[in-house]
Structure 1
Amino acid sequence: MSRADFYLIAKPRFLTEPLRLVCELARKANDAGLSTLVLARDQAQAEELDELLWSFDDDAYIPHQIAGEDADEEEALVLIAAPGTDAASRPLVINLR
């Protein structure tokens, strides 16, 4: 059965930088070995999230990429998709749209 979780951003660090919550969720999914699809609001948000995933935690590496940039998208546990980009469904979807 499918499940949907909704998050209210109450922590101060997430209020000022809501994409940090996405990074935390992506890290938890990565630690659990879950392939994740992040549906970004637009290309700019996809690029911002891509950059943040590289730098948000010095002790965590989360294999990720923006959909459509490389043919080996299956290797990245976290795939970031802007609208209009084809991306295969994954067990976990984080919808920012």
Structure 2
Amino acid sequence: MCNCNNMNSCNQEQDLMKQIQQISFLLVDLNLYLDNHPDCRQALEDYNILVEAMDELRKVYTQKYGPIMNFGTAKSDCPWQWVDDQPWPWENKRR
């Protein structure tokens, strides 16, 4: 069960996070493959496409729901906001 009042919004957030997780997995896999096959143009093209998709997904998620990493990828307004985000993005929202 979701902790938010709007199930549609909660489902959208979960779907977006799932997409981020899936692309993250693909990026790690391609990174490992490219370590062993650095001249594979198709893998490198796929990697670069996924990097762009990940950047866009992170931007959308951060704008709608807050940062998903604690440093280096999301700006903060004053006062510092990272510690104020609840629940944390990695916390299970089903309880």
- Please state which band the TM-score falls in when normalised by the shorter chain: under 0.3
Structure with more strand by fraction: 1
Normalising by structure 2, what TM-score?
0.25
For the pair shown, which has the larger CA radius of gyration, 1 or 2?
2
